[in-house]
Amino acid sequence: QVRERTAELERATTALAVQAREAVHRSSNLLSVVHTLALQSAKGSRSLAEFLDPFLGRVRALADATRSMGADGEARARLSAVAEAALAVPRATYGERIVWSGPPLEIGQTAAQQLSLALHELATNTHKYGLGASDGLRVTVTWSADGEDFVLLWREHGGAAAGPDAAAGQPTEGFGSTLLMSIVPATLQGKAERCFDAGGMTYRLVAPLAAIRDQPSAEGEADLASRIIEASFRNE
């Protein structure tokens, strides 16, 4: 009995040590992402308020994604919970003018962070230049997981194309645009496209379903988000 009890304690201790190492690694990775977001959000800011508003919004998006993680050590989240948290503020403001739907889907930590950031950027932009500027505009957010691909579609319709990144329908590259068009799709091993027309704006993100579902390894992909953010601006 003593040997059996000792073996059980050793297994429990080993499991706790593994979970502790994973927690430290995830925390380090998250802090690295926050640090880099702070640096990039500060670029071009002309005042403290101009820096703090977008930066704190992005930090809140990461925090919402982290809270969506399961408590079982698997570091997985339901995409519906991630979307609900990211879109809670515009939904409270605009009600049924913004809706979202999609099949039940469990996603990994990196996907939760990146999709939360993308939805936050899209929601911030539509608050300023979409829903907030046109009473007739509606936003529909959908996702699908057919075959080997995951698709997220953000569609603004019933209004006019607008926004600081939409001069003559051609987007320019601020940090928010870089997140949406480069960093998020690259981190998720996918691609993104965005188009403006007379009725509004459409953003489409396509990524391998395996990259959305899988949890990256501690040795490799867990810090991919921070490395891509840093690399995106290294040569500026």
Q: Is pLDDT at 101 greater than 90 in this prediction? A: yes
Helices 2-42, 109-129: axis angle to 10 degrees equals 30
Longest dimension (CA), the chain: 77
Question: What percent of the chain is predicted at pLDDT more than 70?
Answer: 70
Greater pLDDT, 226 or 147: 147
Instruction: Decide: 79 and 105 in contact? Cβ < 8 Å.
Output: yes
**Cα three-residue angle 101-185-204, rounded to 5 degrees:** 45
- State the pLDDT confidence band at 106, using cuts at 50, 70 and 90: very high
Question: What was the pLDDT predicted at 164?
Answer: 47
Which single residue is written with the structure tokens 């977008």?
54
Question: What percent of the chain is predicted at pLDDT more than 90?
Answer: 31
Q: Is pLDDT at 38 greater than 90 in this prediction? A: no
- State the pLDDT confidence band at 222, using cuts at 50, 70 and 90: very low
Question: What was the pLDDT predicted at 1?
Answer: 73
Which residue type does 185 have?
P
Question: What was the pLDDT predicted at 104?
Answer: 94
The segment with the largest mean pLDDT, out of 80-84, 146-150, 203-207, is 203-207
Question: What was the pLDDT predicted at 173?
Answer: 57
Q: What is the pTM of this model?
A: 0.73
Residues in CB range of 23: below 8 A, 6 or more apart: none
- State the pLDDT confidence band at 127, using cuts at 50, 70 and 90: confident
Mean pLDDT of the chain: 77
Instruction: Report the C-alpha gap between 112 and 108 in whole angstroms.
Output: 6
pLDDT in tens, 56-98: 788 787 777 777 775 444 567 889 999 999 998 888 889 999 9
- State the average pLDDT over residues 149-174: 67
Give the CA count within 13 Å in the CB-facing half-sphere of 6.
3
Instruction: Report the C-alpha gap between 234 and 117 in whole angstroms.
Output: 21
Give the CA count within 13 Å in the CB-facing half-sphere of 171.
18
Instruction: Decide: 163 and 127 in contact? Cβ < 8 Å.
Output: no
Question: What was the pLDDT predicted at 66?
Answer: 74
